[in-house]
Amino acid sequence: MANAQAVTDQDFATEIEGHEGLAMVDFWATWCAPCRMIAPIVEQLAADYEGKVKVAKLDVDSNQQTAMKFNVRSIPTILFFKGGKLVDQVVGAVPKTALEAKFAQHAD
């Protein structure tokens, strides 16, 4: 994870819910094949939108409390937060364009 920031149960409230702008969080696990498929897309988005969108990843195996809080039942699930509030979600491995469309939809 070079570009996307790792978040945990301990720092989620500060890093994501306390973030003023748009944030995208990829809920994933190491054993999840679709998660591994979209990982390079998430990294690319983190690089492409650096300074515009906060891109983070949360390992659901290590951080079950946050996954349960947001009712994440299947992975990958990507949640979008704006001003600290949940505004959208995408479930499953989707193309980069689908995630970029969400960025555009929720941009200021």
Q: What is the pLDDT of residue 22?
A: 97
Confidence class for position 107, pLDDT limits 50, 70, 90: confident
Q: Does residue 47 have a pLDDT over 60?
A: yes
Which of the residues 7, 23, 25, 35 is marked catalytic? 35
35 as an active site residue: the answer is yes
Q: Indicate the fold that domain 5-106 takes in CATH.
A: Glutaredoxin (3.40.30)
Q: How far apart are CA 74 and CA 67, in angstroms?
A: 10
Q: What's the sign of the alpha-carbon dihedral 6, 11, 15, 17?
A: positive
| 74-96 average pLDDT score | 97
The DSSP bridge partners found for residue 23 are: 54, 81
Which of the residues 24, 32, 42, 58 is marked catalytic? 32
32 as an active site residue: the answer is yes
